[in-house]
Amino acid sequence: MFRSAAYANAVGSMMWTIAIIIPFAPFSYLQPIMVGGGPGTWFLVGYILYLIIGVGGFASISSFLFVIETYERRNLNYGIMVTGLVLLYGGVLIGCLLLGIAGASGGYAIIIQHSTVSVAQSVLSPYVTPISAASLAAVAGAGVSIYGMATAKATKT
């Protein structure tokens, strides 16, 4: 399951990368927004976190699970691992997408529309609580997944 999540996030990362480099509006605004800093940093952080955690994190967990099941011959609790996966996947996906949307929206207001900082802050403000909640879900999912790996029972032979 974690390997499938890594593959899905790899496809999502490719789509996000393509969106950044498409030379047509509204996508053509993304590069200047990223370069402009400020809210564009939120966009860039969301993108980088999605690449690192979404692909690398899920692939790493998948590798650990392979070792636990294959070489250590331990059985994982399916319910615990599914709970961890859902929390982690949902938290990472929602958190990173909201960071990207918030950064693109706030950056558009400042860089493209030349709005004031207070306007950009009003654009970003509604995203803070949902991003925080998604981050907490991702951390909880990682914790539950680690707990599931740590408590895997040895297979009886």
The mean pLDDT value for 138-149 works out to 96
Confidence of residue 157 (pLDDT cuts 50, 70, 90): low
94/50 Cα distance (integer angstroms): 10
Over range 60-66, report the average pLDDT: 93
17 is written with which tokens?
Answer: 């990368």
pTM, entire model: 0.87
pLDDT of residue 35: 87
Cite the DSSP H helix spans in the chain: 2-21, 30-36, 39-49, 58-66, 78-107, 117-150
Contacts for 109 with CB less than 8 Å, ≥ 6 apart: 39, 115, 119, 120, 123
Cα separation, 30 vs 52, whole angstroms: 20
* Residue 83 CB burial class (10 angstroms; 0-12, 13-18, ≥19): middle
Query: Average pLDDT of 12-27?
Result: 90
pLDDT at 156 over 80: no
Residues whose CB falls within 8 Å of the CB of residue 64, separated by 6 or more in sequence, listed in order: 149
Backbone φ and ψ of 18, nearest 5°: -60, -40
What was the pLDDT predicted at 154? 83
- pLDDT tens-digit series, residues 86-99: 999 999 999 999 99
Mean pLDDT of 117-140: 95
At residue 36, does pLDDT exceed 90? no
Is pLDDT at 27 greater than 90 in this prediction?
A: no
Distance of CA 43 to the CA centre of its chain: 12
Each domain of the chain, given as residue ranges in start order, spans 2-154
Tell me the Ramachandran region of residue 50: left when phi exceeds 0, alpha when psi lies from -120 to 50, beta otherwise. alpha
**Which of 47, 42, 63, 65 is closest to 9 using CA atoms?**
47
CA distance 157 to 154: 9
Is 63's pLDDT higher than 80? yes
